[in-house]
Structure 1
Amino acid sequence: MKTAGNLPPPARIAMIAAAVVIVLAGIRAATPILAPLLVAIFFAMITAPLMKWLTRRGAPPVIAAAAVVAGLIGLFAAAVAFLGVAFAGFIRSLPQYRESLLEQMTVLADYGIDIGSFTIWDYIDQGFLIQQVAGIARGVGNIAIDVFLIFVGMGFLLLEAPRLAGALERYIGADTSLYRHLAQSGSFLIDYVLVRTKVNLITGVGTGLFLAVLGVDFAVLWGFIAFILSYVPYIGLVIAAIPPTLLALIEFGPAGAATVIVVISLIDSAAENLVLPRMAGRELNLSPFVVLFSVVFWGFILGAVGVFLAIPLTIAVKLFLESWEETRWMGELIGNSSAEE
């Protein structure tokens, strides 16, 4: 009877591929449970240094964990409140934008296109629209439950971190490459979040300032959305640029929309291709193809959570593969070889 080690290479590859497919299918099926857990682990890892800082200054672990979680909840609540107020103002301005859009569309009359009798409600199924609103309301309720689970899980993880680290050291061994990579992964992820946040600040502030100078309404809102969505490399800022581009089209015509597209594309290119490689260390550099593929792949597996955590998850996979000599070449393939030269 042949063992796995005695099988020919094609058979071993097929077995490994089948095992990977089964594991990924299981992860996708368990996404409703795994997604909040992964977010809680991610937040616990990046806030662990603050937890240690508080405990070293005499704060009891329970108080320190509660303070960290409360601070994160405050930031989250402030962001939600800002978005709520800003979007409310935007919605109140929609009638004004409708009139401006109709004025812009009158230029089509010069080409023999009559839009005088055009009414958007003629092309919208209002029953379908009501169903979508109800679905969004249900989704908000589910998100609230997930957010509650994330913050509770994050608090417990912060409290349990020292015990978990000690257990890993005892059972895996402090001298093994796997333990060293696991120990380094926390600092790498913290470095990534810091670098990504700095780059996003440049992108968000640059986008907001440009839109404000151009005179596009709600420039601060679009800059903030650009800051948030830039955590999704390349794709996020493209999505964030759609609303201000449409507003520029309504307010300033095609020339204004084209200007917004060009300038935001330049800001994105400079941030991703010039600023990020200089600020990120070699360990955090990934192939551009791997970055795009990871966003699509983890988004397919984990949904929206996978889109935002695509790069941290890919970095974790890269470090995991580099823990063994047999798979180290795969980890090197994921990395950006140009950063090592």
Structure 2
Amino acid sequence: MARNLSPPARIAIVGAAVVIVLAGVRTATPILGPFLVAVFFAMITAPVMTWLTRRGMPRILAAGAVVAGLAALLAGTVAFLAAALTGFILSLPQYEKALEAQVAMLAGYGIDPASISVWDYVDRGYVIQQIAGLAQQLGSVAFDAVIVFIAIAFLLIEAPRLAAVLARRLGPESSPFQHLSQSGRLLIDYVLVRTKVNLITGVGTGLFLALLGVDFAVLWGFIAFVLSYVPYVGLLTAAIPPTLLALIEYGPAGAVAVIAAIALIDAAAENLFLPRMAGRELDLSPFVVLFSIVFWGFVFGAVGVFLAIPLTIAVKLFLESWEETHWMGELMGSGERRG
């Protein structure tokens, strides 16, 4: 009966179905989000799992070792951020005096410093309130982390059985199964390359800020490393705090120096190091990359923002698996794929 419908009618029906599914997914984000993160980390840690099992470690122990490593990494990150943010909060009175000194320098430009009340525009309490709000959410985050770690362990243990079932049902030579396998390999390649490039960006940013004398340079470098997983807007967001801090400590010249340095570091990482490290072309249109951040962020929140590119890669390969939707996958490409 569907074949008797006109193309516009079929497009309208499929579009309506997609909207309904996405609305349901967005509603279920508190449940789906942790499991989506678990699938992502299970895929990128699968090579470590394979390496351990090939050396004779039982799958259960290997999965436990991988999860323990992830948990230790998370605990170390949380401890570092807690210490750094505590130091930043304790330094707020010092920055208040420095900012007021910067305002006092405006007298040389014919501006009356007494007419400007700096902290009427910079709310000190807002920063503390936001950090306190994050601390109150630690219980919920800890519960989600436990769910994620358990799910990662089960996925790593069950991976061979799941792969065998998919191969038997879809056929090992079928296009869907081949694209599914390719998506896993491409995801791992993307994460490894992206992590190396982000490490260059984060270390470069931290070193420059340390040489300039900006406080908490290691913290800002770490934030630059993490947020660089979000294309285009991530590093821009990460540059705001150190730029403001350089403005307070060293004036406009310091802020301009930070902006210029971070821009140069990012340009070098993205245009010099990324092409050399990338072993496989992602073949995604820049518009699709930007749209995917907004779209998946709307659907899954913060999880969707950080997983926007892997999710889009998976969707693109899924569309390319069938002749009817192959053209949609091509539309998402950059048009620069080498044959």
Shorter chain as denominator, the TM-score bin is over 0.9
1:118 aligns with 2:154: no
| 1:152-191 equivalence runs, <5 A | 152-191=150-189
- Could you report, residue by residue, the CA deviation over 1:217-263 in whole angstroms, capped at 9, with x for unpaired residues? 21111111101111111111111111110111011100110111122
Unaligned runs of 5+ in 1: none
Q: Is the 8 A contact 1:282 1:340 kept in 2?
A: no
CA distance in 2: counterparts of 1:117 and 1:311, whole angstroms: 44
144-153 vs 80-89, greater mean Cα deviation: 80-89
**Structure-2 change in CA distance of 1:221 and 1:26 (3 Å):** same
Q: CA deviation at 1:159?
A: 0.8
| 1:94-105 equivalence runs, <5 A | 94-105=92-103
CA distance in 1: counterparts of 2:128 and 2:93, whole angstroms: 20
Match of 2:60 in 1: 62
What is the number of equivalent residue pairs in this alignment?
338
- Give 3-state SS (helix, strand or coil) of 1:338's partner: coil
CA distance in 2: counterparts of 1:258 and 1:129, whole angstroms: 24
- Could you report, residue by residue, the CA deviation over 1:185-221 in whole angstroms, capped at 9, with x for unpaired residues? 1111110110000110111111111112222121111
1:20 corresponds to which of 7, 18, 34: 18
2:48 corresponds to which of 27, 37, 50: 50
**Structure-2 change in CA distance of 1:18 and 1:277 (3 Å):** farther
Question: Could you tell me the TM-score, scaled by structure 2's length?
Answer: 0.93
Question: Could you tell me the TM-score, scaled by structure 1's length?
Answer: 0.92
Q: Please give the root-mean-square deviation of Cα atoms over the aligned residues, in Å.
A: 2.2
| 1:290-309 equivalence runs, <5 A | 290-309=288-307
CA distance in 2: counterparts of 1:201 and 1:211, whole angstroms: 15
331-340 vs 223-232, greater mean Cα deviation: 331-340
Match of 1:252 in 2: 250
CA distance in 1: counterparts of 2:124 and 2:248, whole angstroms: 25
| 1:66-105 equivalence runs, <5 A | 66-105=64-103
Identity of paired residues, percent? Answer: 67
Q: CA deviation at 1:98?
A: 1.2
CA distance in 2: counterparts of 1:117 and 1:329, whole angstroms: 59
- Report the AA paired with residue 102 of structure 2: Q
Match of 2:277 in 1: 279
CA distance in 2: counterparts of 1:27 and 1:47, whole angstroms: 26
Q: Is the 8 A contact 1:277 1:285 kept in 2?
A: no
Match of 1:6 in 2: 4
Q: Is the 8 A contact 1:45 1:190 kept in 2?
A: yes
- Report the AA paired with residue 236 of structure 1: G
- Give 3-state SS (helix, strand or coil) of 1:81's partner: helix
- Give 3-state SS (helix, strand or coil) of 1:239's partner: helix
- Report the AA paired with residue 155 of structure 1: A
1:316 corresponds to which of 314, 317, 320: 314
Unaligned runs of 5+ in 2: none
Q: Is the 8 A contact 1:37 1:153 kept in 2?
A: yes
- Report the AA paired with residue 159 of structure 2: A
CA distance in 2: counterparts of 1:180 and 1:131, whole angstroms: 50
- Give 3-state SS (helix, strand or coil) of 1:298's partner: helix
Q: CA deviation at 1:91?
A: 1.9
**Structure-2 change in CA distance of 1:122 and 1:287 (3 Å):** closer
